[in-house]
Amino acid sequence: MRPTTRCLQLNVERLMSRRQKSTSFIGLGRMGYEMAFNLFSKQHALASDSQFVICDAVPASTTRFRDAFMAQFPGAQLSIASSPEEAALVSQTIITMLPASPHVLSVYNAGILPGLQTLSRSLRTTTFCIDSTTLDVSVAKDVASAVTATGAQMVDAPVSGGVTGAKAGTLSFLVGGETGAFASVQPVLSMMGSRAIHCGPTGAGLAAKICNNMLLGVQQIATAEAMLLGQKLGLDPAVLTSVIGSSTGSCWSVNVNNPVPGALVDKAPPCERDYEGGFATALMLKDMGLAATVAEQAASPSPLGEAAGQIYAKIAAERPDLTGKDFSSVYAYLKDKAETGQVMHGEAWFVRAKDA
Ligand code: NAD
């Protein structure tokens, strides 16, 4: 039987009594939707009396999730929280998957923290907050310190693996926090990913994620350049992909996220769907900004990271149509430059990027 909206409304009193077995998931976007679906499906299979609570700023996101989940698991206990505060009140495990630092600050400062503060000390100390957003390290540390001041525990657990990994449940979680907190959240993470790596204390998971994405941002642009140049030199993109894929230039951007349609014979990267899905250029631009911030704070030179950040900024300024598309669309941007005779060399790219 398909449940009515009424029976899915959050009954705080009823859920409070089952708080220990409840999990709240806040942020059902491209990643969060898939992660929550996996987690709730597996938790439901393990213990059918588990309580699931979802929350998103966009009501259509929660109703879409509810309809799909309840169609597959008609007996599940799924509720929609009207605010992050409500979501924090009723669940011992609270997971957030939000776009960036401002959203995390707002959800925690105006929702989760006030919610936790109204609970008894014993309920607070058994609460775990897991934030999987990719955000600024210092913001994450401030939020974690406010959460731990209430007695609850928190880890930063950004992910690697993209929407495909989120859907398949094969994400890698890069975790920062106390060793005990890491051990406690591992069973939950294992239902959404195939690997959880304890990177160090609070903020260390994010530091690892930001370093990885800085490298990836550079790698994807370099792949686009090589694939474009190869075709200009008369090479077939599938042949070039096969050569690089088995040579020293081999990397994820060539072998999995190749930006040239038809280059990966038996795979379907975002370029085959006009760069739809995947990891948005806007999110990569955000991550290059996070990398630039920490590199400056740590006085660590990153000339290629900075240059790549400027290229993504230039794309956002000149081609807003590509900001929501996969970041491999940098290839489409460069190809367009070649076709319209706007080929620049050397510093001209970056001087103009700064002016853009
Ligand atoms: P998204 O924009 O698709 O989803 C974010 C969700 O958060 C949206 O549903 C939005 O409505 C919700 N939200 C925003 N503010 C809110 C608030 N105040 N209260 C409740 N809900 C709120 O983003 P995404 O692609 O799912 O990415 C999420 C995070 O994961 C980002 O930090 C991103 O950098 C990181 N990430 C994304 C990918 C990817 O491939 N998309 C891969 C790895 C990491």
CB 35 within 8 Å of CB 97? yes
Half-sphere exposure of 17 (CA within 13 A, CB side): 4
Tell me what pLDDT residue 327 has: 97
> What fold is seen in the domain 8-202?
Rossmann fold (3.40.50)
CB 275 within 8 Å of CB 328? yes
CA of 27 to the centre of ligand 1 (A): 6
At residue 86's C-alpha, the angle toward residues 113 and 82, to 5°, is 125
Domains 8-202 and 209-351 alike in fold: no
Domain 209-351: CATH class, spelled out: mainly alpha
Tell me what pLDDT residue 6 has: 38
Extract the tokens encoding 158. Answer: 């950004």
CA of 32 to the centre of ligand 1 (A): 7
Side chain identity, residue 96: T
User: Domains of the chain: which residue ranges?
Assistant: 8-202, 209-351
Mutate which of 35, 53, 85, 98 for ligand 1? The one with the most ligand atoms within 8 Å of its CB, which is: 98
CA of 120 to the centre of ligand 1 (A): 31
Q: Which residue minimizes the CA distance to atom 25 of ligand 1? A: 30
Side chain identity, residue 353: A
- For residue 134, give the ligand 1 atom closest to its CA: 32
What is the C-alpha separation between 22 and 212, in angstroms, rounded?
A: 33
What is the C-alpha separation between 309 and 304, in angstroms, rounded?
A: 8
Orientation of helix 281-297 relative to helix 303-318, angle to 10°: 150
CB 52 within 8 Å of CB 38? no
Location of structure tokens 């706007």:
342
- For residue 283, give the ligand 1 atom closest to its CA: 34
CB atoms within 10 A of CB 43: 21
- For residue 55, give the ligand 1 atom closest to its CA: 20
Side chain identity, residue 104: V
Tell me what pLDDT residue 351 has: 60
Location of structure tokens 């951007």:
253
CA of 134 to the centre of ligand 1 (A): 9
Residue 165's SS3 state is helix
Q: How far is C-alpha 3 from the chain's CA centre?
A: 31
Kindly list the catalytic residues.
209
Tell me what pLDDT residue 233 has: 98
| DSSP letter (8 states) at residue 4 | P
Name every protein residue with a CB atom under 6 angstroms from any ligand 1 atom. Answer: 26-32, 55-58, 61, 84, 97-100, 103, 106-107, 133-134, 159, 162-163, 279, 283
Taking the chain (356 residues) in runs of 10, the rounded mean pLDDT of each run is 42 76 95 97 86 96 97 93 96 96 98 96 96 97 98 97 93 98 97 98 98 98 98 98 98 97 93 94 96 96 97 96 97 95 78 56
CB atoms within 10 A of CB 310: 20
Tell me what pLDDT residue 8 has: 43
